[in-house]
């Protein structure tokens, strides 16, 4: 395969993001027509003529309806002549629930992963929320399952804005991104411990040997959703004497009042990648996605 015989499809609400990727990867691009009936059913329309190789761009925040869109598009594309279909999903939903903690609990990672594997030959995403597995291919068993990281790009922003910042991860799960970002620029790094009491109730403990007094601190994580974890970490860091606390995240979900909660905790700047469109976007991921996509198409 090559970029010359590949078409990138997208929806109207991600026209700008998909166009950036198409330009970076040298792909032709087309928009899927979408109509919503009064009963909320969808009518989708793909281009009349489809090439054998196709890419679908769809970031899966607010995922429930989008998963249905993927099913409709992938099945229709296959019947229309597409033989190889790659999903580029900068944000990938339903990855955190990877085991049943209580009897009868649905393990959504396994089910959604198998669902996607039944529709696509390749999946490219950024910083998926994987806890107890080592690779995206374990969750989505397809020939090409690529998990990229925005941590290094966020570290570039941090060092451009703050002199030798201390990178801090709010919990153990953030350690993988903190390590990647710190190594890129030889920065100091600290990982906190999170104690969760519910979806919106958390506490944060700094390591006993953490030296944050007088330091410019950047809290770095894969996702900001409710904002409570980052807010609590910022409060702990400022109480320990940090000169400033900024936030850098790959996925700017910021549900509800999350951004206000973070600001109220004393956070200064908030930087994110454009995996999810948000006013805090400071990093474009199209070049990174394009490089990965070229590798997939060349294989």
Interaxial angle between packed helices 151-161 and 175-185, expressed in degrees from 0 to 180 and rounded to the nearest 10: 50
pLDDT per position as a tens digit, 8-30: 999 999 999 999 999 999 999 99
- In the chain, % helix, strand, coil (3-state, to 5) comes to 35, 25, 40
End-to-end CA, the chain? 7
Provide the residue ranges of all domains of the chain, joining segments of one domain with +: 3-148+284-298, 151-268
pTM here is: 0.93
Positive or negative torsion for Cα 191, 208, 234, 236: positive
3-state secondary structure of 161: helix
- The closest alpha carbon to 297, from 120, 144, 147, 81, belongs to 144
Instruction: Report the candidate in 240, 250, 181, 232 with the shortest Cα–Cα distance to residue 211.
Output: 240
Q: How far apart are CA 83 and CA 95, in angstroms?
A: 27
Using a 10 angstrom Cβ sphere, with 0-12 exposed, 13-18 middle and 19 or more buried, the burial of residue 103 is exposed
Structural contact between residues 249 and 222, judged by C-beta atoms closer than 8 angstroms: yes
CATH topology identical between 3-148+284-298 and 151-268: yes
Beta bridge partners of residue 271, listed in sequence order: 248
Sole residue written with tokens 């296959």:
78
Angstrom distance (rounded) from CA 278 to CA 281: 6
Assess if CATH 2.40.110.10 describes domain 3-148+284-298: no
Which residue did the predictor score with more confidence, 195 or 128? 128
Per cent of the chain over pLDDT 90 is 79
Predicted confidence (pLDDT) at residue 199 exceeds the cutoff of 60: no
Spatial strand order of the sheet with 216-224 comes to: 189-191, 166-169, 216-224, 244-252, 270-273, 281-283
DSSP 233-269: HHHHHHHTT-SEEEEEEEEE---TTHHHHHHHTT---
Question: Each residue of 268-299: pLDDT tens digit?
Answer: 999 999 999 999 999 999 999 999 999 999 88
Residue 62 half-sphere exposure toward CB, CA atoms < 13 A: 9
Tell me the C-alpha to C-alpha distance, in Å, between residue 41 and each of 70, 226, 252.
14, 30, 28
pLDDT digits (tens, 9 = 90+) for 124-160: 999 998 878 889 999 999 999 999 999 999 999 999 9
Domain boundaries 151-268, corresponding CATH code: 3.40.50.2020
Q: pLDDT digits over 70-116, tens only?
A: 999 999 999 999 999 999 999 999 998 888 888 999 999 999 999 99
176: confidence class by pLDDT, cuts 50, 70, 90: confident
Contacts for 90 with CB less than 8 Å, ≥ 6 apart: 17, 59, 125, 126, 273, 274, 275, 276, 285, 289
Cβ count within 10 A of residue 125: 24
């Amino acid at each position: 395969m090559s970029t010359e015989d590949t078409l990138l499809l997208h929806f109207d609400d991600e026209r700008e993001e998909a166009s950036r990727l198409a330009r970076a990867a040298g792909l032709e691009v087309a928009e899927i027509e979408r109509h919503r009936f009064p009963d909320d059913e969808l009518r989708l329309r793909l281009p009349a003529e489809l090439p054998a190789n196709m890419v679908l761009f769809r970031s899966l925040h607010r995922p429930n309806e989008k998963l249905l869109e993927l099913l409709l598009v992938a099945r229709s594309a296959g019947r229309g002549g597409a033989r190889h279909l790659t999903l580029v999903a900068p944000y990938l939903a339903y990855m955190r629930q990877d085991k049943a903690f209580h009897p009868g609990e649905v393990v959504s990672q396994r089910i959604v992963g198998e669902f996607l594997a039944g529709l696509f030959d390749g999946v490219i995403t950024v910083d998926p929320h994987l806890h107890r597995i080592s690779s995206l291919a374990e969750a989505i068993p397809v020939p090409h399952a690529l998990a990229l990281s925005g941590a290094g790009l966020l570290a570039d922003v941090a060092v451009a804005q703050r002199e030798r910042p201390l990178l801090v991860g709010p919990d153990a799960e953030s350690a993988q991104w903190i390590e990647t970002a710190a190594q890129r620029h030889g920065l100091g790094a600290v990982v906190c411990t999170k104690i969760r009491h519910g979806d919106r109730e958390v506490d944060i403990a700094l390591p006993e040997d953490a030296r944050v007094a007088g330091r410019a601190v950047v809290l770095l994580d894969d996702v900001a959703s409710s904002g409570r974890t980052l807010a609590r970490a910022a409060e702990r860091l400022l109480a320990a004497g940090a000169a400033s606390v900024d936030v850098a995240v790959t996925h700017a979900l910021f549900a509800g009042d999350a951004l206000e909660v973070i600001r109220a905790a004393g956070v200064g700047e908030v930087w994110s990648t454009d995996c999810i469109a948000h006013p805090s976007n400071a990093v474009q991921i199209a070049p990174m996605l394009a490089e990965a996509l070229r590798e997939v198409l060349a294989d």
